[in-house]
Amino acid sequence: MTTTAHSSEVDPPTPPAPARAAALRARLSHSTTMTWWVGWLGAVLVTAFAGALRFYRLGEPDRIYFDETYYAKDAYGLQEYGYEHDSLENADQMLGRGPVDIFDGGGDFIVHPPVGKWMIALGDWLWALLPFGESMTPEGWRFASALAGVATVFILVRLATRMTRSVLLGCTAGLVLALDGLHFTLSRIAMVDVFLALWVVAGFACLVIDRDATRDRLARLSEAGVDVTTRWWLGMRWWRLAAGLCFGLAVGTKWSALFFVAAFGLLTVAWDYGARRSAGQRRPMGRWLLVDAVPAFLQTVVLAGIVYVVSWTGWLVTRGGYNRGFADGMAPDWLPDTVAGPLEAFISLADYHARMMSFHNGLTSDHAYISAPWEWLVMRTPVMFAYEGEAVGCPSGGCVASVVSIGTPIVWWISLLAICVMLGWWATFRDWRAGAVLLAVAAGWLPWFAFPDRPMFLFYALPVLPFLVLAIVLMLGLVMDAGENNPRFGPYLRATGGVVFGVLLLLIIAHFAYLYPALAAYPIDEPSWRQRLWFDVWIYGNGSS
């Protein structure tokens, strides 16, 4: 990983002459001698490993558990009706036996947008297409979550490889994410948080590619003799449009994605400003505002809003959804039906959103596993998703099986050090990678402190995890590069960095393997199970034993 001056957005020299075009390229874009297929091969291998972990015994527990009671049934309702539907009281017991009619009444009031549930429904449909698959079984309603978790690992490998220009560090990022217990458990349950993490990371990756492509375009124009110091248009930003699409899907999964959209929208225009300054534009404010900032708002925020509204199509084009008829008859009589109908539908949708917001603002709970945001990074209060005191399949008897949704503690604890290193690196060198990671962590974590009375859980931190992993691999890159320019102690420092890298990776692998039975509903004798959960709060939460 290189930490040279091209990583900082500092004032450039005067506009380059042809002889200095190579120096400008070094400022504007990362150079690499990496063979392209090596990076892709590494990403595929790490992704395959993550997939093997997530798909093995995906059907255990072989019943609805934790919040699957909401999301699996909502997904089934979307498949059948296009909107979430009320279900029978014993629907949880009926599910898992293949397609059955579990519905009663009409539309169900839901508190999260539909994208994540549509993805669960799509996964169930795909699973049923397989020769051994069947709709609405545990494997079916968890299939999309596992795919999303695997896809997030793949994207993170490619993202980290791009940011560090190191296949080793890129694959390490994917491996660390694959071996984190929080990401593992949320990739094996029909909940929507893993989809939120997927779309947030995918959107960020698109913006990083857009940043690299834009700066590389400026470098190529300069090499071709174009005066980039007066350049207005930086080219069509297809990757930024892709980011807007991803952000719309993220917000359509959970509203908390709005924090990331706001932060990343500011980040991408800041990168454009830095690119213009690096290209030699001394007063780029007008060009930056008119052809960078305003289009960026349209390409990310506005496009995300359009995607979000489209995600409600199933509710809008049907009539049975909750609150769907709220605005019936409100449109003026003089409007034609082709206008009045959609207008009333959108008024009803706006009122629905007001009811959803009221629910979130008034939410209270005495759940034993509630945790405040400050507890998330230290893994104080994980969530017991499932527990069976008399697990079947243990020859010695007296065994338990559980799904404890806890991050691999060593990953999260090391990330605290990595965040401190990123702060120092950014404050000292203004490195864009450190700044981007810090901003992403802040966007996914700090806003929750503004809602101290709202019940929150550890899995709310899942979208932050990939950026904590990026902080870890960036820190490891710095450690392994230590002594690069020190002829006397350089070899010893680099060797020490390699040892630190190897030891940390082995500790992460060992810690995940140690926790695995408690994460994956694998039967294990109770004393061994308790040994893996080091603190009482990891077992009982904030309740009594």
Summarised one tens digit per residue, pLDDT across range 290-348 is 888 999 999 999 999 999 999 999 999 999 999 999 999 999 989 999 999 999 999 99
pLDDT mean over 279-283? 82
Closest CA to 222 of 234, 209, 208: 234
Angle 477-480-484 from CA coordinates, rounded to 5°: 110
Q: For residues 428 and 402, what is the distance between their CA atoms, to the nearest angstrom? A: 46
- pLDDT-based confidence at residue 224 (cuts at 50, 70, 90): confident
Which one-letter amino acid corresponds to residue 202?
Answer: A
Contact 122, 77 (CB under 8 A): no
The tens digit of pLDDT for each residue in 438-489 reads 999 999 999 999 999 999 999 999 999 999 999 999 999 999 987 676 677 7
Q: For residues 254 and 195, what is the distance between their CA atoms, to the nearest angstrom? A: 9
- Using CA atoms, how far residue 480 sits from 4, 170, 504, 505, in Å, is 15, 14, 13, 13
Count of all residues that appear for the chain in the document? 545
Q: What is the DSSP string of 101-160?
A: --EEEEEPP-SS-SHHHHHHHHHHHHHHHSTT--TTSHHHHHHHHHHHHHHHHHHHHHHH
Query: Among 245-254, 386-395, 412-421, 512-521, which is the least confidently predicted range?
Result: 386-395
Contact 141, 190 (CB under 8 A): yes
Scanning the structure block, which residue is given the tokens 């207008």?
A: 343
Give the model's pLDDT for residue 57: 96
Angle 534-444-309 from CA coordinates, rounded to 5°: 130
Average pLDDT across the chain, whole number: 91
Asked whether the CA dihedral 498, 504, 510, 516 is positive or negative, the reply is negative
Give the model's pLDDT for residue 33: 59
Token pair in block for residue 471: 């902080």
Token pair in block for residue 342: 């959609």
pLDDT mean over 262-266? 97
| pTM greater than 0.75 (yes/no) | yes
Token pair in block for residue 379: 């893994």
Contact 214, 272 (CB under 8 A): yes
Q: Is 450 exposed, middle or buried (0-12, 13-18, 19+ CB in 10 A)?
A: exposed
pLDDT of 400 > 80? The answer is yes
Q: For residues 323 and 234, what is the distance between their CA atoms, to the nearest angstrom? A: 46
Give the model's pLDDT for residue 31: 57
- pLDDT-based confidence at residue 23 (cuts at 50, 70, 90): low
Beta-ladder partners of 401: 388
